[in-house]
Amino acid sequence: MKTLITLITTLMLMPSAGALTLTYGKCDSDACVERFKEIKKHARNHVSANTLLGDMYLNGYGTDVNEGEALEAYEKASRWGSIYGKYKAGLMLVTRDDAESKEEGMRYLRDAAKKGHRNAAYFMGEVLSNPKYGVQNVAEADQWLAVLVEAKHEVVPQTLARLDREGRLNEETFPLTLEAMSRFDMALPEKEQVVMKAGRAAPDDDKYEIIEVNGPELAELIDLGIEFYAEEPSDLNKVTTGTRIRGRSCSDKMNSCGSVPEDQFIRYYRQFILGKR
């Protein structure tokens, strides 16, 4: 079975030449190793650093590829309240072969989706409607797909097109989804190309191209994160907003978060690492 998880580091990819997603490239240069060591150090005291550490382990950025360590980092972030940790742990687990891991993965994804993670909500609809994952629940999938249609999620037309090809997109099987499609005037896509955002898993289909990116933009992002974490000794006792004031965000200009351009880091981090705008 192919590993479907592809954690990407750019906000979106223009739908050219059938390309669907981007992933970290493996990097073992001295600079990448140092970045990995810094993120691993800050993961002891920063919730979001664990999500980034998991990505590094999963992709071999500054370290050997280690899926076990990646999952441990994501689950640690989840335990500390990160919906992004829940999301990424869920993606890893739901693609395993054993039923227990799949069910645990769905619990992570469901929790992240209910807490507002758009791509977790997408995978609830996709995975529960697709028998190949082994956790099919059409009634629940119908509920999530209807929510995604209403939210105008960028990728949900692809799932709807798949269901249509399979002859399952009908009133009997997906009544809530069809009602939402009618209400929000959503048509099925003509081509299987779509602008993707961070955290999208790659489809099990050879016609899609996976492009690896390991350029200065990623290095700049990680360096900015390291600087941000160094300015903020710990965020473990806070709502994870990145400020020294519990429950307040660095985007609030009245808050002081050190000399790092926090609004820039948080924007980059949300876009490139966490899959949100």
Q: Which structural domain range is residue 99 located in?
A: 19-273
**For residue 262, what are its two tokens?**
């926090």
pTM beyond 0.75, yes or no:
no
Asked if residue 217 belongs to a domain, the reply is yes
CATH number at residue 192: 1.25.40.10
Q: 23: which strand partners? A: 212
Statement: residue 158 has pLDDT above 50: yes
Residue position matching structure tokens 């990097």: 27
Q: Could you tell me the pLDDT band of residue 26, with boundaries at 50, 70 and 90?
A: confident
Count: domains in the chain: 1
Statement: residue 204 has pLDDT above 60: no
Asked if residue 246 belongs to a domain, the reply is yes
Statement: residue 195 has pLDDT above 70: no
Q: Which H/E stretch holds residue 22?
A: strand 19-24
How does pLDDT run across 27-61, given as a tens digit for each residue? 999 999 999 999 999 999 999 899 989 989 988 99
Statement: residue 12 has pLDDT above 60: no
Asked if residue 7 belongs to a domain, the reply is no
How does pLDDT run across 211-231, given as a tens digit for each residue? 344 555 678 778 888 888 888
Asked if residue 4 belongs to a domain, the reply is no
pLDDT of residue 209: 36
How does pLDDT run across 58-113, given as a tens digit for each residue? 889 999 999 999 999 999 999 999 998 999 999 999 989 999 999 999 999 999 99
C-alpha distances in angstroms, 171 versus 152, 168, 182?
A: 20, 9, 12
Mean pLDDT of 181-199: 66
Q: Could you tell me the pLDDT band of residue 9, with boundaries at 50, 70 and 90?
A: very low
Asked if residue 9 belongs to a domain, the reply is no
Asked if residue 212 belongs to a domain, the reply is yes
How far is Cα 23 from Cα 9, in angstroms, rounded to an integer?
6
Asked if residue 215 belongs to a domain, the reply is yes
- Using DSSP bridges, classify how beta strands 19-24 and 209-213 pair: parallel, antiparallel or unpaired: parallel
178, with CB counted inside 10 A (0-12, 13-18, 19+), is buried
Statement: residue 210 has pLDDT above 60: no
Q: Could you tell me the pLDDT band of residue 177, with boundaries at 50, 70 and 90?
A: very high
pLDDT of residue 237: 60
pLDDT of residue 217: 67
pLDDT of residue 74: 95
Q: Residues of 230-261 as b/e, b for ≥16 C-beta within 10 angstroms?
A: eebeebeebebbbbbeeebebeeeeeebeebe
